[in-house]
A and B are shown apart, each in its own frame.
Chain A
Amino acid sequence: MPDSPAPTVIHVDLDAFFVSMELLRHPELRGLPVIVGGPGARGVVSTCSYEARTFGVRSGMPGSRARQLCPQAVFLPGDFRFYAPASRAFHAILRDYTPLVEPAGADEAYLDVRGCERILGDGPWIASEIRRRVREEIGITASAGVSTNKLVSKVASDAGKPDGLVVVPPGGEAEFFAPRPIRDLPMVGPKTAEALAAIGVTTIGQLAAIPASVLEGRFGRHGRELAERARGVFDAPVLAGRGEAKSVSREMTFSHDEPDRARLRAVIRGQAERIAAELAQAGKSARTVTLKLRFPPFETLTRSATVARPVGLADELFEAGTRLFEEAWAANGRRPVRLLGIGATNLQERARQLGLGETLEADRLSGAVAEVRAKFGEGALRRAAELGARVPRYGAGGASDPRLE
């Protein structure tokens, strides 16, 4: 731990990122409750505008529930191809200040600017610079929190939303936390909050007042952590490159349960293509291929196969993925499928032992496809075989978002 703590840890979070991006191209929607995410029976709210939040809409909520709460909301399907360049630009801005950037998703990250103060200015100043540049260069707003650790900075940036900057001076952590509701602590979920409310604890300050030994007795190891965090103590450092994926996957929920074998295989084809592109970009190949299959109403099964020779090419992923699928599907009476996804895990450095007399055509092709997609978006190049499937504009997801690792 540093001898003289300084507020050098910054958490930056883009405000209602997807909605903000939509408002850029639909300025006429400003001031209205806007929801990005499926309004359909199985859609989920991905992001909602602050106007929608006043109606009680929250991200992660079923679209149908959001519709009930806020019937006048404007629903927009997600368009990741449109958001991705902005996300890249955002992370690039952060890396202008320090290489110590820990991405926590497409729209948020932690930075530690320790040691940069003399040249660039102190933490609060860098945070305001970042907010200014996001506004000017991307056209959307970001909130930031600055403190001595990731936990306090995260709570601070949430407190500043939207478009705010909150600086918590060293030593002021407990005071900053004290009046805040218990749910503001990232590790407190509904269950813990309920349990705490049962003993009369509703603010972080009340929690901090309880001796650690008591919390430990009540909640076990989790209790000791709670006690520390309630006082704003958190010593996990900002780790650059933590965003490196340990797995890459794609899955898709069908709007109608899909009974057609050819269509299902076409979906796997598309997923294999996209996973292959991501693997190629990361320079990885996979020892294990996984399958996720869901039948209505909510019967989920996963299967995996570990291969002797690591795979990375779309054809290899497709072959392994369909083999898993055919087996699992047959074993389940070939019922209509609600969700289908494949993934690559057990990643290792991409390397392929070339055979005597072998050429590199397949690798070159996969590299070229990955380049085109990186430049022009995932939809720029598709296999003809995928055209049989109703490819959703917004079916991607998976591990391009490091939070889902």
Chain B
Amino acid sequence: MKVQVLQENLQRGLSIVGRAVATRSTLPITANVLLQTDKGRLKLAATDLDIAMSAWVGAKVDEEGATTVPSRLISDFVSSLPPATVQMEIPERSRQMKLECARNESSINAMDAEDFPRIPEVRDGVAILLDAKALKRAIDRVEFAAASDDSRPVLTGVHMKSDGTRLTLASADGFRLAVSDISLPTAPGETVEIIVPARALRELGRLIGDGNEPVEMRINGSRTQVLFALTEVELVAQLIQGTFPNYNQLIPTEYNTRCIVDVDEFKREARIAAIFARDGSGIIRLQMAPSQNGMPGELKVSARADEIGDNEGKIDADIAGDASKIAFNARYLQDVLNALTGKVALEMTSPSSQGVFRPISPEGTEPDTYVHVVMPMFVQW
């Protein structure tokens, strides 16, 4: 293999696929990145066997071929090079890759591309075209609620299910549940229902970034792998097998109290309360008082720690229904608020049942169907 690549292109490609490199693996070669000429471009790929990422960068291919080199080493090296052309050369069956850039020369020990795990290709199966912004927003609102411990593997994933032109993403970790919809330009050829590892979607969200190009999602015929294809980048993930809990029954449709507040104010008070909560049991208490005698309704956000002290912040609230109170784990409350902007409604029926967070769409815009359910903390008031 002999190719010439611009240093900044190579660096970008390496940093993208570097996210899929295995950090602890019994298979040493998975700590490497695959470099391969591909139709006049250079393909970079890495995998930890759960997810695989590939990126293509423009290159002048002088001689076709493939090899693998340690990801960490080549990334650190390339990112330190000056912005110039990098020439990489490795003779057939050689174990040494030579790199030249400006007046710097080096050689890196390589491992044979033949030994690298096969990067799955999903070329058949059902495909769905997704709007990048809508997908990114849904991922940001859902993936954090997935379980981080794998005592119930299905909960470490995000459930994706299509219904006509609607694709619903949902995740739950046993204490909270997040559900977000994306509308599709056209209904997929067949109904899709898969569980994608939350980590894969987190990486996908990172790949999309501020990008606008549509994302193609393709699921293989045996429903074991999903591919997300962006311009010049692809991510393939092994799907989680199993049955996702039927979560719809966990979303209450009624409430006794509905409290609408400004998200930024709520976020600020929750952040302050969390400082006090972290030295106690991590509890933030919310008390809602409807408007009375011309005074506006009020949401009181408070926390206390026996040994430290206590804190109480108040914000104006539009409250329908009864005065009420509920306590949440500080992190769960902050997580959901961080996923929102504008105004949010908190709906609840009692201090010991679900708190339901729903964004309030500005007038004249399409209703936002996102819903986030958080189970409260059972506390003595």
Chain-B contact segment, one of A267-275, A323-331, A350-358: A350-358
Residues in B whose Cβ lies below 8 Å from that of A355: 174-175, 375
Cβ contacts B140-181/A at 8 Å (1 or 0 each): 000000000000000000000000000000001011110000
Given known pairs A348-B280, A360-B352, the reply for A353 and B375 (CB within 8 Å) is yes
Contact of B378 (CB < 8 Å), options: A348, A356, A363:
A363
Chain B residue contacts of A351, Cβ below 8 A? 281, 283, 327, 377-380
- Contact partner, B375, options A310, A358, A363, Cβ 8 Å: A358
Q: Is B250 an interface residue (CB 8 A)?
A: yes
A363 to B177 CA separation, bound complex (whole angstroms): 23
- Asked if B306 is at the interface (CB within 8 A of a chain A CB), the reply is yes
Max chain B C-beta neighbours (<10 A), residue from A348, A354, A356: A356
* In the assembled complex, B376 has its CB within 8 A of some CB on chain A: yes
| Cβ-defined contact, B373 with A354, below 8 A | no
CB pair A352–B378 under 8 Å, yes or no, is yes
Nearest residue (CB) in A for B381 is A283
Distance of B218 from chain A, by nearest CB (Å): 32
**In the complex where A283-B380, A349-B306 touch, is A356 in contact with B375 (Cβ < 8 A)?**
yes
Partner of B177, one of A283, A352, A356, A358: A356
The answer to whether B377 touches A353, judged by C-beta atoms less than 8 angstroms apart, is yes
A residues less than 8 Å from B281 (CB atoms): 310, 348-349, 351
The answer to whether A356 and B172 have CB atoms under 8 Å apart is yes
Asked if B329 lies at the interface with its beta carbon under 8 angstroms from chain A, I say yes
Nearest to B177 among chain A residues (CB) is A356
- Say yes or no: A353-B280 contact (C-beta < 8 A), given A283-B380, A360-B352: no
Chain B residues closer than 8 Å to A349, beta-carbon distance: 280-281, 283, 306, 379-380
Q: Please report which residues of chain B, range 271-286, place their CB below 8 angstroms from some CB of chain A when the two chains form the complex.
A: 280-281, 283
Give, as a whole number of angstroms, the nearest-CB distance from A362 to chain B: 10
Bound Cα distance from A39 to B92, whole angstroms: 95
For residue A360, which residues in chain B have a CB less than 8 angstroms away from its CB?
352, 378
Using A350-B380, A351-B378, A363-B378 as known contacts, say yes or no to A356 and B283 having CB atoms under 8 A apart: no
Q: Flag if A350 contacts B379 (CB, 8 Å).
A: yes
CB distance from A306 to the nearest CB of B (A): 15
Cα(A354)–Cα(B378), bound, Å: 7
Instruction: Kindly list chain A residues whose C-beta atoms are within 8 Å of the C-beta of B177.
Output: 356
Residues of B in contact with A, size category = 20 to 34
CB distance from A181 to the nearest CB of B (A): 40
Chain A, 347-383, contact with B by CB distance < 8 Å: what is the 0/1 string?
A: 0111111111110100100000000000000000000
Decide yes or no: A353 and B175 within 8 Å by CB, A348-B280, A348-B281 being known contacts.
yes
With A349-B280, A351-B327: A356-B174 Cβ-Cβ less than 8 Å: yes
Q: In the assembled complex, how far is the CB of residue A264 from the closest CB belonging to chain B, in whole angstroms?
A: 32
Smallest CB separation, B306 vs chain A (Å): 7
Measured between C-beta atoms, what is the minimum distance from A176 to chain B in Å?
38
Residues of chain B within 8 A of A350, CB atoms compared: 379-380
B347, chain A: closest CB distance, angstroms? 16
Chain B nearest Cβ from A363, distance in angstroms: 6
Contact of A356 among B280, B327, B352, B373 (CB under 8 A): B373
Taking the nearest CB of chain B, how far is it from the CB of A307, in angstroms? 14
Residues B250 and A356 in contact, CB atoms below 8 Å apart: yes
Interface residues of B in 223-279 (CB under 8 A from A): 250
In Å, the complex CA distance between A357 and B306 comes to 30
The docked-state distance in angstroms from the alpha carbon of A250 to that of B378 is 26
Interface residues of A in 95-135 (CB under 8 A from B): none
Distance (Å) between the CB of B283 and the closest chain A CB? 5
Q: Please encode chain A, from 303 to 315, with 1 for each CB lying within 8 Å of some chain B CB and 0 for all others.
A: 0000000100000
Docked CA distance A290–B245 (Å): 37
> A143-160, CB under 8 A of B: which get 1 and which 0?
000000000000000000
- 8 Å CB interface, B79-101 against A: none
Residues of chain B with a CB closer than 8 A to A358's CB: 375
Smallest Cβ-Cβ distance to A287: which chain B residue: B281
Q: Mark B340-381, 1 if CB is under 8 A from A, else 0.
A: 000000000000101000000000000000000101111110
* Cα–Cα distance between A363 and B376 once the two chains are bound (Å): 14
Q: Nearest CB to that of A355 among chain B residues?
A: B174
Establish whether residues B375 and A354, one from each chain, have CB atoms under 8 Å apart when the complex forms.
Answer: yes
Q: Look across to chain A and name the residue whose beta carbon is closest to the beta carbon of B306.
A: A349
Distance from B259 Cβ to chain A, minimum over Cβ atoms (Å) = 20
Q: Which residues of A contact B327 (CB under 8 A)?
A: 351
- Chain A residues whose CB sits within 8 angstroms of the CB of B176 once the complex forms: 356
- Which residues from 255 to 293 on chain A have a C-beta closer than 8 Å to any C-beta of chain B? 283
Does B306 contact A356, Cβ atoms closer than 8 Å? no
- In the complex, what residues of B have CB within 8 A of residue A363's CB? 378
Residues of B within 8 A of A283 (CB): 380
- Please, which residues of chain B bring their CB within 8 A of the CB of A356? 172, 174-177, 250, 354, 373, 375
Q: Which B residues lie within 8 Å of A310 (CB)?
A: 281
Set of chain B residues within 8 Å of A352, measured between Cβ atoms: 377-378
Smallest CB gap from A280: residue in B = B380
Closest beta carbon of chain A to B375's beta carbon, Å: 4
A348–B279 Cα distance when bound, in Å, is 10
With both chains docked as a complex, state the minimum distance between the C-beta of A322 and any C-beta of chain B, in angstroms: 23
CB distance from A374 to the nearest CB of B (A): 15
Whether A357 pairs with B377 at a CB distance below 8 angstroms is no
A346 to chain B, nearest CB (A): 12
Residues of B near A348 (CB, < 8 A) are 280-281, 306
* Additional 15 contacts, C-beta under 8 A, given A349-B283, A351-B378, A356-B373: A310-B281, A349-B380, A350-B379, A352-B378, A353-B377, A354-B175, A354-B375, A355-B375, A356-B172, A356-B176, A356-B177, A357-B250, A360-B352, A360-B378, A363-B378
* Residues of chain B at the chain A interface (Cβ within 8 Å): 172, 174-177, 250, 280-281, 283, 306, 327, 329, 352, 354, 373, 375-380
Q: Closest 3 CB pairs between A and B?
A: A283-B380, A354-B375, A351-B379
Cβ contacts A to B, 19 pairs, < 8 Å: A283-B380, A348-B281, A349-B281, A349-B283, A351-B378, A351-B380, A352-B378, A353-B175, A353-B377, A353-B378, A354-B352, A354-B378, A355-B174, A356-B174, A356-B176, A356-B250, A358-B375, A360-B352, A360-B378
State the A residues within 8 Å of B (CB).
283, 310, 348-358, 360, 363
